[in-house]
Structure 1
């Protein structure tokens, strides 16, 4: 589904990624783990086209998308939920969802499907997004991304600042999404327990390089912690 090869990227003259390579297996959840400053967000920003790599390639379904604009990557099936529970605060929950759904051939049906994944949003449709809790805004952000009908959903720190009961709900939703035919999830996290519980495979970034990779599951936690100390 997604293959990153020897990717180098950064900001101005500061290189953050120093030849990162990783693969997301078919129909699975893959986790990218690492501390703040490891290069995780830079990696996903390069994948979705927000920043341009200086070297390497990004293959999506076998196509090199390294030179495509962000909207072209969305059209190919990429969806990105950045960290921070981002939403349009003055708009209601429903208006946030309609911004994406309106104009799509199956817009109304896709909106309903997204709400079915996050039923906690249904009583909040008339509430301004800026008045939602952090967990509710995170669910809204993921629901909005699902309306684009992605085949790869990229979630950057989805548990950041979220209460534990909502973290469990988000994990269950990710597992449901990954069970859909043709759906893949790239989960960028610091929360090791959550990420390994959800992921089939993981890669650890340290100082802009992959320091470890392997199969997911809670049994991998010790190897991940050791790699994150490098």
Structure 2
């Protein structure tokens, strides 16, 4: 569904990604792992169009989207959840969801579907987002993205700073999203166990290069931990 072919990306004169080639399967989860500064978030920013590759190609379902603006990629079915449990803190949970749903065909139904995936938010609809816990804000951020009914969901460190019980809920939601309706997920994550449990394929980045890749699952833990220890 989403393909990176020899992608080079940088900031100013600095090159951060060096010839990245990776695939996100249709209806599946691909995890990108690596230490801080490895280039994981840069890869997502390039995927959604916030950074333009200096070389290489990004394709969405076979279409070359390398030169498209972020809003054009969103219109084609991409959704991006950056780090930081982002929301509009002075608006309620319901208002945060409504901002995305308003004017969107099927927005009301999509909101109901998102709340079905995160039932904890149902009791928090009248609470301002700034008063939610970090885990609740992360669930809200993912729910907002799901209201767009994306074909590809980009998640940047969804478990960062989240309590373990909520991490398990987010993991199950990602699996449910990928298994329902053919949504593809590109997951940037530092927690190896969570990432490999969710992903059918993984990529390890080190200094902007893929140093290890393969099939996800429990059997991949040793290979990934060895790659990350280098």
User: Partner of 1:202 in structure 2?
Assistant: 202
User: Partner of 2:78 in structure 1?
Assistant: 78
Q: SS at 2:59's partner residue?
A: strand
Report the alpha carbon displacement of residue 218 of structure 1 after superposing the two structures with TM. 1.4
User: Partner of 1:169 in structure 2?
Assistant: 169
Note if contact 2:28-2:182 (Cα within 8 Å) is conserved in structure 1.
no
Gaps of 5+ in 2: none
Q: SS at 2:188's partner residue?
A: strand
**What is the CA–CA distance in structure 1 between the aligned matches of 2:135 and 2:95, rounded to whole Å?**
18
**What is the CA–CA distance in structure 1 between the aligned matches of 2:52 and 2:169, rounded to whole Å?**
34
When normalised by structure 1's length, the TM-score is 0.99
**What is the CA–CA distance in structure 2 between the aligned matches of 1:121 and 1:188, rounded to whole Å?**
24
1:172-208 Cα distance to aligned partner (Å, 9 max, x none): 1011111113211111000000000111110000000
Q: What CA RMSD, in Å, does the superposition of the two structures yield over aligned residues?
A: 0.7
- Hey, which bits of structure 1, 4+ residues long, moved more than 3 A? none
**How many residues matched?**
230
What are the equivalent positions in structure 2 for 1:1-230 lying under 5 Å apart?
Answer: 1-230=1-230
**What is the CA–CA distance in structure 2 between the aligned matches of 1:148 and 1:108, rounded to whole Å?**
11
Report the alpha carbon displacement of residue 3 of structure 1 after superposing the two structures with TM. 0.8
When normalised by structure 2's length, the TM-score is 0.99
**What is the CA–CA distance in structure 2 between the aligned matches of 1:211 and 1:124, rounded to whole Å?**
43
